[in-house]
Amino acid sequence: MKSRWFPRLMFALGAIPFFWLAWRWHHHQLGINAVETVARYTGDWTIRFLMLTLAITPLRHIPGLQALARLRRMAGLYTFFYATLHALHYWARDVQWNWQIIQEDLTYRRFFIAGMIAWTLMIPLAATSFDRAIRWMGGRRWRLLHKLIYVTAVAGVVHYLWQGKTATLDPIGYSALLAILLGARMALYWRRTRRMRSPKPHPAG
Ligand code: HEM
Cα 98 from Cα 78, distance rounded (Å): 27
Domain-wise residue ranges, the chain: 5-194
What pLDDT is attached to residue 205?
A: 45
DSSP 150-203: HHHHHHHHHHHHHH----SSHHHHHHHHHHHHHHHHHHHHHHHHHHHHSPPPPS
The model's confidence at residue 117, banded by pLDDT at 50, 70 and 90, is very high
Select from 86, 97, 102, 161 the residue to mutate for testing ligand 1; criterion: most ligand atoms less than 8 Å from CB.
Answer: 86
Higher pLDDT, 173 or 197: 173
Ligand 1 atom index nearest CA of 36: 41
**pLDDT mean over 43-53:** 97
Say if residue 54 is exposed, middle or buried (CB neighbours under 10 Å; 0-12, 13-18, 19+): buried
Instruction: Report the candidate in 69, 80, 62 with the shortest Cα–Cα distance to residue 14.
Output: 80
Sorting pLDDT into bands at 50, 70 and 90, what band is 16? very high
Tell me, what's the pLDDT at 137?
A: 95
Mean pLDDT confidence for 48-70:
91
**CA-based radius of gyration for the chain:** 20
Rounded distance, CA 34 to CA 3, Å? Answer: 39
Give 83 Cα–ligand 1 centroid separation in angstroms.
8
CB-CB contact of 122 with 79 (8 Å): yes
Which pLDDT value is given to residue 45? 98
Structure confidence at residue 39 (pLDDT): 97
> pLDDT confidence of 61, banded at 50, 70, 90?
confident
Q: What's the rounded Cα separation, in Å, for the pair 12 and 74?
A: 10
Where residue 2 falls among pLDDT bands split at 50, 70, 90? low
CA of 195 to the centre of ligand 1 (A): 41
Residue nearest to atom 15 of ligand 1 (CA): 40
CA distances 25 to 3, 86, 94, 118, 180, Å, are 35, 15, 15, 27, 36
* 168 or 106, which is more confident: 106
For the stretch 78-105, pLDDT in tens is 999 999 999 999 999 999 999 999 999 9
User: Alpha-carbon distance 123 to 87, whole Å?
Assistant: 13
**Lowest mean pLDDT segment, chosen from 21-35, 57-71, 171-185:** 57-71
